[in-house]
Amino acid sequence: MYVPMSVSGVTVDPITNTPIVILKEINGDKILPIWIGIMEATAIASALENIKFARPMTHDLMKNIMETLDVKVTKVEVCDLRDNTYYALIHLLTKDGKEYAIDARPSDALALSLRVNAPIYVAEEVLIKSAKLSEEAKKSDKWEKILESLKPEDFGKYKM
């Protein structure tokens, strides 16, 4: 099962200072944050804000190559989440009707999809796994806060 989503924006993780792209469910309120690189964040943000550069940026070049070759990006899918890494597929359709799915990082897939107006889908399983990860992060955060709140004299109170 795949959920149609759209890029809602790019933000920055206040703790790690890493850019995050936020996907939002089109027909609901599910959210998927994906941590990405600074340059991919720039490529996504410039497409969102419709900023035009004098020269083609890397994903503009990719779009131009596709258009020149008469190849359509039919959709992009965030299809998997393994070991904290998100996986995506870029689906292509050639003018003679051949279909291909190319393995990509979600950041590249999204930066391209925004430039060619291709729909974005996220596997339901990825949303579930991501929610679980964020729950675990919150829990470890809770532990971190508990540990941080301890005073030096609290240590060594209990013997193993």
Burial of 86 (0-12, 13-18, 19+ CB in 10 A): buried
Q: Is 62 in the site for its own copies (CB under 8 A)?
A: yes
Pairing of strands 72-82, 31-35: unpaired
- Rounded least distance, CB 66 to its own copies, Å: 8
How far, in whole angstroms, is CA 29 from its chain's centroid?
16
Q: Which of 39, 51, 128, 150 binds its own copies (CB under 8 A)?
A: 39
Q: Please, which contacts does 95-100 make with residues 24 or more away whose CB atoms are closer than 8 Å?
A: 95/70, 95/71, 99/74
Q: Is 51 in the site for its own copies (CB under 8 A)?
A: no
- Rounded least distance, CB 47 to its own copies, Å: 14
Name which of 32 and 112 has its Cβ closer to its own copies.
Answer: 112
* CA-wise closest residue to 93 among 110, 118, 122, 64: 118
Q: Which of 19, 47, 59, 123 binds its own copies (CB under 8 A)?
A: 59
Using CB under 8 A, list all residues that contact its own copies: 38-40, 54-56, 58-59, 61-62, 64-66, 68-69, 71, 85, 90, 92, 94, 100, 102-105, 108
